[in-house]
Amino acid sequence: MTYLNEIKGKHRGLTSHIVKTEKFKTVSIIFKMLAPLTKEDVTERALFPHVLLRGTSTRPKTADLRTYLDELYGTSVSCDLSKKGEMHVITFRLDIANEKFLKDQTPLLEKGLELLSEIIFSPALEDGAFLPLYVSQEKRTLKQRIQAVYNDKMRYSNLRLIQEMCKDEPYALHVNGELDDVDGITPQSLYEAYQIAVSEDQLDIYVVGDVDEQQVDSYISKYFEANEREPRSVPKLEQTRTREPQEVVEDADVKQGKL
């Protein structure tokens, strides 16, 4: 069995993880932001990553950003949300071709790291806040993602199970937030939540592929500037156990069902 060697580095408020492997012809760059799950900010944290992917300070139009990704040999960038214990995890992923396999030797890895840094730390702004058009469009999409859980009864039953088992605990919260909180989000309030996340979250960047570790480390130092911070800790909760089993039954008016 071959074990992959991970090289960790510290770049002020950012921890880098470089994994060199010759298994892939692409390089994957994963950027993670971790913070405690709280009802007050989980919905805004679920929204602003998608707004960030709409444009940057130098490419505020989504079409321009997509065109630039195509110029980088079809580079793809996406974001995802998950839970790790009672931590809310925002993940950005950028997959780019390995420049070793190109004829013109374009510095793709450096361009990819520079672009990901710009997406996360230099978003498109208007009057000191996110662009209202992008916020309104992504709010509508977020509502659809939240409501999609209710339409899939298998996912919905699992969600309700977690909500009942972990009642009054942060883990009961869904990664996409609360439907009732979406309408109250404004471009300014969302930008403020984003600023708190960038300055206080635990930040990690992973680079996986056939790369030069020292070169990657220098690129990260060059493009990712994160202030020193003390990551927010998860508050300890008193564990309460119910000896008697509980049964929760919900009725719904459905036209189709799965057994």
Distance, in Å, from the CA atom of 65 to the CA atom of 119, rounded to the nearest integer, reads: 10
- Total domains present in the chain: 1
In 3D space, the residue among 78, 83, 54, 2 whose CA is nearest the CA of residue 190 turns out to be: 54
Report which of residues 252 and 19 the model is more confident about.
19
Question: At 83, which amino acid appears?
Answer: K
**Could you tell me if residue 178 is inside a domain?**
yes
Region 194-223: mean pLDDT is: 95
Q: Is 194 within 8 Å of 124 (Cβ atoms)? A: no
DSSP 238: -
For residue 76, pLDDT over 70 is answered with yes
Q: Is 241 within a domain?
A: no
- Looking at residue 256, its pLDDT comes to 72
In a domain, 255, yes or no: no
Residue 250 included in any domain: no
Q: Is the pTM of this model over 0.75?
A: yes
Q: How confident is the model at residue 235 (pLDDT cuts 50, 70, 90)?
A: low
239 domain residue, yes or no? no
102 located within any domain: yes
Looking at residue 37, which CATH number applies to its domain? 3.30.830.10
**Residue 92: is its pLDDT beyond 70?**
yes
Range of the domain at 77: 6-223
Is 240 within the bounds of a domain?
no
